[in-house]
Amino acid sequence: MHFDLNYSAILPQIIIGVTLFISATIDAFSSARKWPVGIITLFGIGAGISSAVYLWGSNIVSFSQMVSLDEFSLLLFITVMIAGFITVLVSLKYVDDMEPDGGHFYLLLLSSLLGMMFLVSATNLIVIVLGLELMSLSIYPLVGFTRDRQISLEGAMKYLILGAIATAFLLYGIALIYSVLGTTNLYTIARILSTAQHMTGNLVMMAGVAFILIGFSFKVALVPFHAWTPDAYQGAPAPITGFMAAAVKAASFGAIIKVVIIVLQSFHVPVAEALWWLSAVTMFTGNIIAVMQKNVKRMLAYSSIAHAGYVVVGLVSGTAFGMSSAVFYLLSYTFTITGSFAIITYLEKNDGTGSELSDFSGLAKEHPILSLIMAVFMLSLAGIPPTAGFMAKLYVFSAAIKSGYIGLAIFGILTSVISLYYYLRIVYAMYFEESEGRTDTPVPAGIAAGVFIALWGVIQLGILPSDIMNFAMQSIQSLIH
């Protein structure tokens, strides 16, 4: 019997999976403090990142064309694993403070990473659904991790129900496409579509594509599918909010980009128009509502909605450069948002308060370095040079202009001017407002390390973006055969 099994095609996934087993065993046999489980998790994710770097340049399609290991999936592996690494670093003390027996935090985080990695490396719609579900089902309990906070459970419940609806949309879309083409393999779908011109305008096929787009739009929180985001992001523990904003978005966008590049290039439906509207509405709504928020976590939730809109601008342009700029945007946003939430984790108190705007007042006097770094992150989110956020926005908008979407680019730049207001309000609170007596605890080593890694990424991508952009270009080229 012959089997199409090349295990190096899933080597990073195997490493994360084995780490999951080791961490689970250690968690089961260890005492109340769970930081050793976190340390093992850190080593595992570190090994995963190293393996992804080592495998760079390979192009393997295996397991009966179910998964592929190419530069695209590797770059997104690295993105989500960096998000996971920083999140675990930040959570080492947080988990032990929140839950007496909270080792499952790391296990759920690892299994969600595993799901994300299968999601971005899938070349079959069924594997995409499996990866998406493994990711989502691990994130729901993480949102409700602090189970004595009612707001946390409320967020988890809303996320669970709307996430289930999203999966239903996605599955129904896949079923419709299967009913027309008789296959779920992305490359086979692309081949059939490129030879069958009469498929253009097929209503069942259009409905299938639309349903898949809606399912993913729920996951990356594009307006009007964003209703769960503010509650889930505010209710979740601060490190998990950062992880959701960074990794869940990056992985879901990875799947969208893959489907758009492989399948929709040869299927002439007005996907670009649909994405145009989604992106414009998302950028506008996210930034406008964020202006009115008093809670920083909720504010960054709306800001993350707006950022999803900016990523879609890269998709709208439809060129290889536009897709690469979207991937670059995901990486830069990952560094910025995990770093910001590391600092919010430090400020968050055990009962879940401490993330109001007033809690940032006068932070600069007590923690000058931390405040400076927070200010850099806020400037990066707003898109001010020399940070990663500026370069990411520059690439995305220049790709849109090159493809002739000048109106969308101008609109995006205008909305990002609006966003400057609420990002700078945090900076203003830190530097120019009086503090209201804060109980001062030293910054834990894990949070400090996580913040510095994120800061390094933000500066590196802001000053020397061309190397990373080259990697992003290579990753997109690896999808176009």
Per CB under 8 A, residues contacting other proteins are: 1, 3, 21, 24-25, 27-29, 179-182, 196, 198-199
Considering the complex, state which of residue 1 and residue 351 has its C-beta at the smaller distance from other proteins: 1
- In the complex, least distance from residue 150 CB atom to other proteins, rounded to whole angstroms: 16
Considering the complex, state which of residue 13 and residue 324 has its C-beta at the smaller distance from other proteins: 13
- In the complex, least distance from residue 369 CB atom to other proteins, rounded to whole angstroms: 40
- In the complex, least distance from residue 21 CB atom to other proteins, rounded to whole angstroms: 5
Give the containing element (helix H, strand E) for 265.
none
Q: What is the DSSP string of 114-175?
A: HHHHHHHHB-BHHHHHHHHHHHHHHHHHHHT-STT-HHHHHHHHHHHHHHHHHHHHHHHHHH
Which has the closest alpha carbon to 471: 254, 325, 313? 325
Considering the complex, state which of residue 185 and residue 252 has its C-beta at the smaller distance from other proteins: 185
Considering the complex, state which of residue 118 and residue 225 has its C-beta at the smaller distance from other proteins: 118
Q: What is the DSSP string of 282-321?
A: HHHHHHHHHHT--BHHHHHHHHHHHHHHHHHHHHHH-SHH
- Tokens 């799947």 belong to 255
Considering the complex, state which of residue 202 and residue 435 has its C-beta at the smaller distance from other proteins: 202
Distances, alpha carbon 132 to alpha carbons 24, 82, 170, 301, 432, in Å: 22, 19, 10, 21, 44
Considering the complex, state which of residue 197 and residue 441 has its C-beta at the smaller distance from other proteins: 197
Q: Which residues pair with 62 in a beta bridge?
A: 67
- In the complex, least distance from residue 106 CB atom to other proteins, rounded to whole angstroms: 13
**Inter-residue contact 347 to 354 (CB < 8 Å):** yes
- In the complex, least distance from residue 1 CB atom to other proteins, rounded to whole angstroms: 6
- In the complex, least distance from residue 129 CB atom to other proteins, rounded to whole angstroms: 18
Radius of gyration of the chain (CA): 21
CB atoms within 10 A of CB 226: 25
185 phi/psi in degrees, rounded to 5: -80, 125
DSSP letter, residue 185? B
Considering the complex, state which of residue 8 and residue 353 has its C-beta at the smaller distance from other proteins: 8
CB atoms within 10 A of CB 380: 33
- In the complex, least distance from residue 447 CB atom to other proteins, rounded to whole angstroms: 28
End-to-end CA distance of the chain: 30
- In the complex, least distance from residue 137 CB atom to other proteins, rounded to whole angstroms: 13
- In the complex, least distance from residue 28 CB atom to other proteins, rounded to whole angstroms: 4
Considering the complex, state which of residue 176 and residue 381 has its C-beta at the smaller distance from other proteins: 176
Which has the closest alpha carbon to 327: 78, 3, 129, 125? 78
CB atoms within 10 A of CB 158: 18
Considering the complex, state which of residue 50 and residue 179 has its C-beta at the smaller distance from other proteins: 179
| Positions of E strands within 238-280 | none
**Inter-residue contact 196 to 218 (CB < 8 Å):** no
Considering the complex, state which of residue 196 and residue 272 has its C-beta at the smaller distance from other proteins: 196
Considering the complex, state which of residue 140 and residue 471 has its C-beta at the smaller distance from other proteins: 140
- In the complex, least distance from residue 160 CB atom to other proteins, rounded to whole angstroms: 15
DSSP letter, residue 197? G
Judged by phi (left if over 0) then psi (alpha if -120 to 50, else beta), residue 318 lies in: left
- In the complex, least distance from residue 179 CB atom to other proteins, rounded to whole angstroms: 7
Task: Provide the Cα torsion 392, 380, 455, 325; round to 10°.
Answer: -10
